Copies of this chain bind each other. A is one copy, B any other.
Amino acid sequence: MRVRDLQTPSLIVDAGLLDRNIQTMSRALPGPKLRPHVKAHKCTSLAGLQSKAGHRAFTCATVREVEGMAAAGLGEDLLLANEVLDTARLAKLDARVTVAVDSEETIKAAADGGVAEVLIDINVGVPRCGCAPEDAGRLADLARSRGLAVRGVMGYEGHIVGLEDRTQRNALIGDSMEALIKAHEEVGGDVVSAGGTGTYDINTWATEIQAGSYALMDTAYAKLDLPFEKAITVLGTVISKSSDYMVANCGLKCFGMDHGNPEIEGGHQVWFLSDEHITFSSSADLDIGDLIRVYPAHIDPTVAYHQQIHVVREEEVLDVWEVDLRGW
């Protein structure tokens, strides 16, 4: 099948760019140095490529992601890097599952639900999950007293990973990771899990990096000085045309919009999106029926809208992957 023959809108990934992104990351962070985050692609076929590249341990954000990875035979070492109270589904899985905990309640839920291993989740600067660093030792003791194995700590420097200026990222990461290391001293265990695509090469404190976006990328991460290329686009068809603007059939239900408008390949000017439309102007002479490729601003909530990813090389469709980790 040719790209031309795909129904639109469709999510398409460039096989060559995806492969290059995966290889670039694997050279920088081989094997267990990287724990790829599946929330960015929600696709076990893509996780399979990351596994083939040497990464056997994965990061998940939802119980559904853990379940799907286990079912796909990728459950060698799954970290649910998120707090969860409904732990019953996790204990049933044929997989090694470690869960983040940051409170007495989440420790109790892990123990009651039959989870065997946990990481203590530390707040390293993002007002989200994670306990205060000074509370980490107490929680680790509590977890062990409840029969849980404490593998170490995690902390996500989410306030730093997206900063476009590398010197800014460098300036801030030290304080953030020193808090994590201090907590780790109190907690013990082998694992210091942290980092993301924006800090994969400057976070030298973590024993493993939880990067996810590097494989597919988006326009937000493309503004950083990273060696990863935008590999995924939404394919749309021009369906209407006036003297000033054109309209294609990919809209708000195709793109996570929290980072703003997506960008159209070829420098067309995006005006706005509606539920099923993108209105744009262009100096190029596009006709009704022509295809456009649109780069998402934020990959994670974009992929979550789509059922499939089409793998293409040039104009050929090589494969169709299910986005099989959607939902919760």
Contact = CB atoms under 8 A, between A and B. Distances in A.
B247 A252 contact: no
A271 to B, nearest CB: 7
A286 interface: no
B239 A106 contact: yes
A277 interface: yes
Given A61-B275, A274-B158, A275-B61, A84 B252 contact: no
Interface in A250-267: 252-253, 256-258
A285 to B, nearest CB: 15
B129 A288 contact: no
B328 A130 contact: no
13 contacts: A82-B276, A84-B239, A85-B239, A103-B240, A127-B242, A127-B271, A128-B279, A129-B240, A256-B257, A257-B257, A257-B301, A275-B300, A307-B327
A307 B7 CA distance: 22
A46 to B, nearest CB: 17
Interface in A144-177: 158
Nearest to A275: B300
B85 A237 contact: yes
A61 B276 contact: yes
A327 B307 CA distance: 7
A277 B130 CA distance: 12
B127 A86 contact: no
A124 to B, nearest CB: 13
Given A103-B240, A276-B61, A300-B253, A247 B288 contact: no
Contacts of A117: none
Nearest to A308: B327
Nearest to A256: B252
